[in-house]
Amino acid sequence: MRNLLLPEIQALLKEKRLDVLKEFCEESHPADVADALEGLDPEDISQILSLVSAERAAEIFGHIQDHQQVKFADAVDAKTVAGLVQEMDPDDSADLLRELDESDAAEILRHVRKGDREDVKLIGSYPEDTAGAIMTTEFASLREDMTVDEALESLRREAPDKETIYTIYVVDSGGRLTGVVSLKDLILAAPTKRVSDIAERDVISMSADADQADVAKKMQDYDFLAMPIVDRSRKLLGIVTFDDVMDVMRDEATEDMYYLASLNTDERVFTNPLKSVRLRAPWLLVNLGTAILAAFTVSLFESTIAKYVGLAVMMPIVAGMGGNAGAQSLTVIVRGLALGEVSIHGAWRALMKEIGVGFLNGAINGAVMGMIAGVWFKNFWLGLIMFASMIINLVIAGLFGALVPLVLRTLRLDPALGSSIFVTTATDVGGFFVFLGLSTLLIGHLV
Amino acid sequence: MRNLLLPEIQALLKEKRLDVLKEFCEESHPADVADALEGLDPEDISQILSLVSAERAAEIFGHIQDHQQVKFADAVDAKTVAGLVQEMDPDDSADLLRELDESDAAEILRHVRKGDREDVKLIGSYPEDTAGAIMTTEFASLREDMTVDEALESLRREAPDKETIYTIYVVDSGGRLTGVVSLKDLILAAPTKRVSDIAERDVISMSADADQADVAKKMQDYDFLAMPIVDRSRKLLGIVTFDDVMDVMRDEATEDMYYLASLNTDERVFTNPLKSVRLRAPWLLVNLGTAILAAFTVSLFESTIAKYVGLAVMMPIVAGMGGNAGAQSLTVIVRGLALGEVSIHGAWRALMKEIGVGFLNGAINGAVMGMIAGVWFKNFWLGLIMFASMIINLVIAGLFGALVPLVLRTLRLDPALGSSIFVTTATDVGGFFVFLGLSTLLIGHLV
Write the pLDDT tens digit of every residue in A348-368: 999 999 999 999 999 999 999
Q: Do residues A430 and A396 touch, judged by C-beta distance below 8 A?
A: yes
Mean pLDDT of A22-42: 91
Task: Tell me the sheet residues that pair with B181.
Answer: B168
Instruction: Name the region of B339 (left: φ>0; alpha: ψ -120 to 50; beta: rest).
Output: alpha
Tallying the residues shown for chain A, one arrives at 447
- Given a cut of 90, whether residue A3 has pLDDT beyond it is no
Q: Which of residues 204-243 of A touch B (CB under 8 A)?
A: 204, 219-223, 225, 242-243
Distance CA B318, CA A288 (A): 9
Please tell me the predicted confidence (pLDDT) of residue B66: 87
Per-residue pLDDT band at A343 (split at 50, 70, 90): confident
Q: How many helices (H) and strands (E) does chain A have?
A: 23, 6
CB environment A405-422: b (16+ within 10 A), e (fewer): bbebbeeeebbbbbbbbb
User: Cβ contact (<8 Å) for B263 and A331?
Assistant: yes
Per-residue pLDDT band at B210 (split at 50, 70, 90): very high
Phi and psi at B33, nearest 5°, equal -65, -45
- pLDDT tens string A293-313: 999 999 999 999 999 999 999
CATH topology of domain A6-128: MgtE N-terminal fold (1.25.60)
Q: Do residues A55 and A25 touch, judged by C-beta distance below 8 A?
A: no
- pLDDT tens string B374-397: 999 999 999 999 999 999 999 999
Distance of CA B65 to the CA centre of its chain: 16
User: Cβ contact (<8 Å) for A316 and B368?
Assistant: no
Chain B within 8 Å of A368 (Cβ-Cβ)? Answer: yes
Q: Which of residues 393-412 of A touch B (CB under 8 A)?
A: none
Residue type, B59: E
Phi and psi at B144, nearest 5°, equal -75, -20
Closest CA to B33 of B7, B69, B61: B61
- Given a cut of 80, whether residue B218 has pLDDT beyond it is yes
One fold for both B6-129 and B273-446? Answer: no
Q: Do residues A320 and B287 touch, judged by C-beta distance below 8 A?
A: yes
Facing B316 at nearest CB: one of A225, A280, A319: A319
Contacts of A28 in chain B (CB under 8 A): 202
Q: Do residues A338 and A252 touch, judged by C-beta distance below 8 A?
A: yes
The single-letter DSSP state of residue A146 is S
Residue type, B427: T
- pLDDT tens string B326-369: 999 999 999 999 998 898 888 999 999 999 999 999 999 999 99
Mutate to test the interface with A, among B313, B330, B349 (most CBs of A within 10 A): B313
- pLDDT tens string A45-82: 999 999 999 999 999 999 998 888 999 999 999 999 99
Contacts of B254 in chain A (CB under 8 A): 335, 339
- pLDDT tens string B80-123: 999 999 999 999 999 999 999 999 999 999 999 998 999 999 99
* CATH code of the region A273-446: 1.10.357.20
User: Cβ contact (<8 Å) for B166 and A156?
Assistant: no
User: Cβ contact (<8 Å) for B294 and A320?
Assistant: yes
The Cα-based distances of A433 to A393, A447, B264 in angstroms read 10, 19, 30
Contacts of B292 in chain A (CB under 8 A): 317, 369, 372
User: Cβ contact (<8 Å) for B331 and A261?
Assistant: yes
Q: Do residues A355 and A402 touch, judged by C-beta distance below 8 A?
A: yes
Instruction: Return the number of CB contacts < 8 Å for A and B.
Output: 318
Mean pLDDT of A188-196: 90
Q: Do residues A40 and A10 touch, judged by C-beta distance below 8 A?
A: yes
CATH: 1.25.60.10, 1.20.140.10, 1.10.1040.10, 3.40.50.10110. Which one for B6-129?
1.25.60.10
- Given a cut of 70, whether residue A1 has pLDDT beyond it is no
Long-range CB pairs of B124-128 (<8 Å, 24+ gap) are B124/B94, B124/B97, B124/B98, B126/B208, B126/B209, B128/B98
- Given a cut of 80, whether residue A317 has pLDDT beyond it is yes
**Angle value at C-alpha B347, between B343 and B350, nearest 5 degrees:** 115
- Shortest Cα distance, chain B CAs vs residue A321, angstroms: 7
Beta-carbon contacts of residue A295 (< 8 Å; ≥ 6 apart): B313, B314, B316, B317
User: Cβ contact (<8 Å) for A368 and B246?
Assistant: no
Chain A within 8 Å of B36 (Cβ-Cβ)? Answer: no
Contacts of A332 in chain B (CB under 8 A): 263, 267-269
Q: Do residues A144 and A194 touch, judged by C-beta distance below 8 A?
A: yes
The single-letter DSSP state of residue A5 is P
Distance CA A389, CA A370 (A): 10
Please tell me the predicted confidence (pLDDT) of residue A158: 84
Please tell me the predicted confidence (pLDDT) of residue A163: 83
- Shortest Cα distance, chain B CAs vs residue A334, angstroms: 9
Mutate to test the interface with B, among A165, A242, A378 (most CBs of B within 10 A): A242
A17 SS3 class:
coil
Distance CA A412, CA A422 (A): 17
Closest alpha carbon within chain A to B151: A187
Contacts of B285 in chain A (CB under 8 A): 364-365, 368
Facing B312 at nearest CB: one of A281, A284, A298: A298
A10 SS3 class:
helix
Per-residue pLDDT band at A30 (split at 50, 70, 90): very high
Contacts of B346 in chain A (CB under 8 A): 269-270
What is the Rg, in whole angstroms, of the alpha carbon atoms belonging to chain A?
A: 30
Q: Do residues A265 and A258 touch, judged by C-beta distance below 8 A?
A: yes
User: Cβ contact (<8 Å) for B284 and A324?
Assistant: yes
The H-or-E segment that residue A167 falls in is strand A164-171
Q: Do residues B328 and A261 touch, judged by C-beta distance below 8 A?
A: yes
The H-or-E segment that residue A434 falls in is helix A419-441
Closest alpha carbon within chain A to B222: A31
The single-letter DSSP state of residue A182 is E
- pLDDT tens string B40-79: 999 999 999 999 999 999 999 999 988 889 999 999 999 9
- pLDDT tens string A251-262: 999 999 999 999
Q: Do residues B18 and B51 touch, judged by C-beta distance below 8 A?
A: yes
User: Cβ contact (<8 Å) for B281 and A324?
Assistant: no
Q: What separation, in Å, do the N-terminal and C-terminal C-alpha atoms of chain B show?
A: 79
Q: Do residues B247 and B129 touch, judged by C-beta distance below 8 A?
A: no
Q: Do residues B195 and B148 touch, judged by C-beta distance below 8 A?
A: yes
- pLDDT tens string B183-204: 988 988 888 999 999 999 889 9
Residue spans of the domains in chain A: they are 6-128, 139-241, 273-446
Distance CA A227, CA A222 (A): 10
Distance CA B144, CA A244 (A): 32
Residue type, A172: D
Distance CA A9, CA A20 (A): 9
Q: How many CB atoms lie within 10 A of CB B273?
A: 16
**Architecture of the domain made up of B139-241:** Roll (3.10)
Please tell me the predicted confidence (pLDDT) of residue B447: 84
Distance CA B445, CA B447 (A): 6
Considering chain A, what is the average pLDDT of its residues?
A: 94
Q: Which of residues 147-166 of B touch A (CB under 8 A)?
A: 152, 155-156, 159-160, 165-166
Please tell me the predicted confidence (pLDDT) of residue A66: 87
Q: What is the 3-state secondary structure (H, E, C) of chain B?
A: CCCCCHHHHHHHHHCCCHHHHHHHHHHCCHHHHHHHHCCCCHHHHHHHHCCCCHHHHHHHHHHCCHHHHHHHHHHCCHHHHHHHHCCCCHHHHHHHHHHCCHHHHHHHHHCCCHHHHHHHHHHHCCCCCEHHHHCECCEEEEECCCEHHHHHHHHHHHHHHCCEEEEEEEECCCCEEEEEEEHHHHHHCCCCCEHHHHCECCCCCEECCCEHHHHHHHHHHHCCCEEEEECCCCEEEEEEEHHHHHHHHHHHHHHHHHHHCCCCCCCCCCCCHHHHHHHHHHHHHHHHHHHHHHHHHHHCCHHHHHHCCHHHHHHHHHHHHHHHHHHHHHHHHHHHHHCCCCCCCCHHHHHHHHHHHHHHHHHHHHHHHHHHHHHHCCCHHHHHHHHHHHHHHHHHHHHHHHHHHHHHHHCCCCCCCCHHHHHHHHHHHHHHHHHHHHHHHCHHHHC
Facing B328 at nearest CB: one of A184, A261, A364: A261
Distance CA A382, CA A370 (A): 7
Distance CA A210, CA B324 (A): 34
Closest alpha carbon within chain A to B275: A357
Chain A within 8 Å of B330 (Cβ-Cβ)? Answer: yes
Please tell me the predicted confidence (pLDDT) of residue A144: 86
Chain A within 8 Å of B294 (Cβ-Cβ)? Answer: yes
Distance CA B238, CA B256 (A): 28
- Given a cut of 90, whether residue B158 has pLDDT beyond it is no
**ipTM for the complex?**
0.90
Q: Do residues A369 and A435 touch, judged by C-beta distance below 8 A?
A: no
Please tell me the predicted confidence (pLDDT) of residue B1: 60
